[in-house]
Chains A and B, each alone.
Chain A
Amino acid sequence: MSNTQNKSNLNGDVHIHKNTDSNSIDKKEDDRPEFETNLANTLLHNFGEKIKIDFIKKNRIKVNVQKENIVEIAKFISLNMKFDHAEAVTGIDYPEQNEIEVVYHLGSYEDNLSNQILALSTSAIREDDPTPGSDRTKLPSLRNVFYSVEFHERECFEMLGVYFENHPDNRRLLLPEDWADIPPLRKDFKIKGR
């Protein structure tokens, strides 16, 4: 962190990436970008079997972990790899696989990492008849690791019914207090007329 403090000032040196083809996709396995591969290898080296690399693209890495290990891995990412904040926490409902995937998009304000996004994904068991908070759809909260996920996790709780254990403030955020339907971002919640 102190590193950032020194480097970021008004006239701080800004390195510009001369990559105009940032939109193109790296399809082949062998032209995977080097820097991102190194980052992923750091994770693989430390945790081995516990994590599964989904993809490595330019500036983007996605790793998949079990929910039992996520706090430990998040702590490692936060402390050793200097990813210091969460940009988004996305819940995705997969009724066929009977699971709800939660993706943490972690970013960093370090100079060399600031173009990287590390997507840390895990999944919770999905219940067909949800009662948010008291069913098995539970995940450990990352709020003690990344302070910035507090509101994101609250939103994920109300929108998909994923209860985050050890979250200090698991209340509704966006939905009205008297919302009595199932969590609206689940796939079995249908919009009228569609």
Chain B
Amino acid sequence: MSELPPGIKLEKEDDKIMTLNVGPQHPGSGHMRIIVKIDGDYIVSCDPDPGYVHRGEEKMAEYRNYITNIPHLERPVIHDSCNILYPYCLGVEEILGLEVPERAKYIRVIASELNRCVYTLYWLAIYGIFLGHSTMFMWPTGDRELLIDLLEKLSGARVTHAYFIPGGVRNDMPANFEDVCIRQINYFEKRIKQYDSIFYSNPILKSRTIKTGVLAQQDAISLGATGSVLRASGVDFDVRKKEPYDVYDNLDFQSNTLKSGDSYARSKIPWLDMLESCRIIRNALEKIPKSGSVRVKLKPNPKAGNVETYKRVESGRGSLGMYIISNGKPEPYRVKISVGSFRNLICLPYLLKGEKLGNMPAVYWSLNYWPVEADR
């Protein structure tokens, strides 16, 4: 056999060790393959192999101008589309020198918090079904409709909103939006508090997830984890608090931190965040200026100078950064999307080594991982 290319390795394996191809056509993997080697019921090694739904968003962004990039840059995570467009809009505003109207900033905060809840509910549903809890699949998917209706009122689309544009938002809130929003948010908050009794207090769930896949604080930092994974390990890092963008520094909220760093804590942080999101939305609806424009006038094909910018926001899956390089042309020279899912993926082989195979779904989905976003 000739010399192998550097990407490929051969290894002799013990007969005892069985290699399992979990995914991508596997009910427990999402759009990703995890190559798991097991010895009996214990995982010897785990090699995540993302890329099944790689669409080359970064390459595509180099061929479109700043405005036409919006509808496709939200594709990696359509459930959280406002949050993935947020850093892009912030970055483009910086390099084009746009000043966003105050009302638009509040609308952006409301939309992105609603979107965070929509994403988290979807993720929670999948987390539930992968632990075999079918009710926890159905309840969040049903309650998600409430928020999707709100976002549809706001932007006109149920999931792929394309609502944020550089310099504001696409359109103003409809007339009765504030009342409807408050009403739905109140009901929604009451509803998600019930999840505690059916899911988080469930003894079987606790026995499966507590002390499973523990990520120590030190390791979480050095692995560069972010979002709920990081905060479940006791590191208080929330971009909304640490580097407030738009009007987050005027709003009253706290970032949730748990100390244990196990699967249970990682699954509970997004739920606590949803309760916090309800608070933020109420607060933002109180403080929002009652009138004013929501967008600045853009030139048809805006150009920027030779500048670069790195902006980050807190998305449903952690810090989401966009690195935009402009070289004076209408199209960006390079757009790099640094997503929380991709950064948290490195924790997976670390956490799964030595775990039981039965713990794989509990650990894997507690990473708040969205394969499509990691692939971009």
A and B in contact, CB less than 8 Å: yes
Q: A149 vs B242: C-alpha distance in the bound complex, in angstroms?
A: 22
Judging by beta carbons under 8 Å apart, are B90 and A5 in contact? no
Interchain CB contact under 8 A, A147 and B325: no
Q: Which B residues are in CB contact (< 8 Å) with A185?
A: 58-59
In the complex, the answer to whether A25 meets B94 with C-beta atoms within 8 Å is: yes
Residues in chain A near residue B27, CB distance under 8 A: none
With both chains docked as a complex, state the minimum distance between the C-beta of A33 and any C-beta of chain B, in angstroms: 13
CB distance from B329 to the nearest CB of A (A): 12
A137 to B72 alpha-carbon distance, docked (Å): 31
Report, as a range, how many residues of chain B touch the other chain.
35 or more
For A149, list chain B residues within 8 Å (CB): 224
Q: Within the assembled complex, what's the spacing in Å between the Cα atoms of A15 and B42?
A: 44
Q: Once the chains are docked, how many angstroms separate the CA of A17 from the CA of B256?
A: 19
CB of A103 within 8 Å of the partner chain? yes
When distances are taken between beta carbons in the complex, the residues of chain B under 8 Å from A189 are 59
In the docked arrangement, what's the CA distance between A85 and B321, Å? Answer: 14
**Nearest CB of B to A9, in Å:** 7
Q: Does B334 contact A (CB under 8 A)?
A: yes
- Tell me whether B56 and A87 are in contact (CB under 8 A): no
Q: Which of B37-58 contact A (CB under 8 A)?
A: 49-51, 54, 56, 58
B59–A134 touching, CB < 8 Å: no
Least Cβ–Cβ distance between B70 and chain A, in angstroms: 18
* Pair A84/B7 contact, Cβ less than 8 Å: no
Interface pick from A39-47, A65-73, A111-119, A122-130: A111-119
Cα distance, A27 to B206, chains bound together (Å): 54
Q: Which residue of A lies closest to B3 (CB)?
A: A134
Establish whether residues A148 and B224, one from each chain, have CB atoms under 8 Å apart when the complex forms: yes
Q: Is A28 an interface residue (CB 8 A)?
A: no
A88 to B323, CA, bound (A): 9
Contact: B54 with A88, CB < 8 Å?
A: no
Q: Is B342 an interface residue when CB atoms closer than 8 A count as contact?
A: yes
- Contact present for A174 and B51 (CB under 8 Å): yes
Residues of the B chain whose Cβ atoms lie less than 8 Å from the Cβ of A87: 224, 312, 319, 321, 338, 343
Residue from B8, B51, B100, B338 within 8 A of A23 (CB atoms): B100
Contact B241 A184 (CB under 8 A): no
- Nearest-Cβ distance from residue A52 to partner chain B, whole angstroms: 15
Residues of A within 8 A of B223 (CB): 85, 147-148
User: Chain B residues near A16 (CB, 8 Å)?
Assistant: 241, 244, 249
B5 lies within 8 A of chain A by Cβ: yes
Check: A133 CB closer than 8 A to any chain B CB. Answer: yes
Report the stretch among B231-239, B288-296, B351-359, B361-369 that lies at the interface: B231-239
A45-66: which have CB < 8 Å to B?
A: 59-60, 62
**Interface hits, B304-354 → A, CB 8 Å:** 307-310, 312, 319, 321, 323, 325, 333-334, 336, 338, 342-343, 345-346
Least Cβ–Cβ distance between A162 and chain B, in angstroms: 12
In the bound complex, do residue A148 and residue B346 qualify as a contact, i.e. CB atoms below 8 Å apart? yes
Flag A160-194 by CB within 8 Å of B: 1 or 0 each. 00010000001111111000000011000101001
Asked if A85 and B221 make an inter-chain contact with CB atoms under 8 angstroms apart, the answer reads yes
**Complex partner residue of A88 from B217, B245, B336, CB under 8 angstroms:** B336
Picked from B54, B312, B333, B345, the residue with its CB within 8 Å of the CB of A175 is B54
Contact: B63 with A194, CB < 8 Å? yes
B63 touches A119 (CB 8 A): no
Identify which of B5, B63, B221 contacts A4 (C-beta below 8 A).
B221
**Residue pair A20, B249 in contact (C-beta under 8 Å):** yes
> Which of chain B's residues 264-294 have a Cβ closer than 8 Å to chain A?
none
From 216 to 271 in chain B, residues with beta carbon under 8 angstroms from any chain A beta carbon are: 217-218, 221-224, 230, 234-237, 241-245, 247, 249, 254-259
22 A-B contact pairs sorted by A residue (CB < 8 Å):
A1-B221, A5-B234, A8-B235, A9-B259, A10-B258, A14-B255, A16-B249, A20-B249, A84-B224, A88-B310, A105-B323, A107-B319, A109-B230, A115-B242, A147-B222, A148-B224, A148-B343, A150-B346, A170-B6, A171-B9, A172-B7, A175-B54
* Chain B residues close to A by CB (< 8 Å): 5-9, 49-51, 54, 56, 58-60, 63, 90, 93-94, 97, 99-100, 217-218, 221-224, 230, 234-237, 241-245, 247, 249, 254-259, 307-310, 312, 319, 321, 323, 325, 333-334, 336, 338, 342-343, 345-346, 375-376
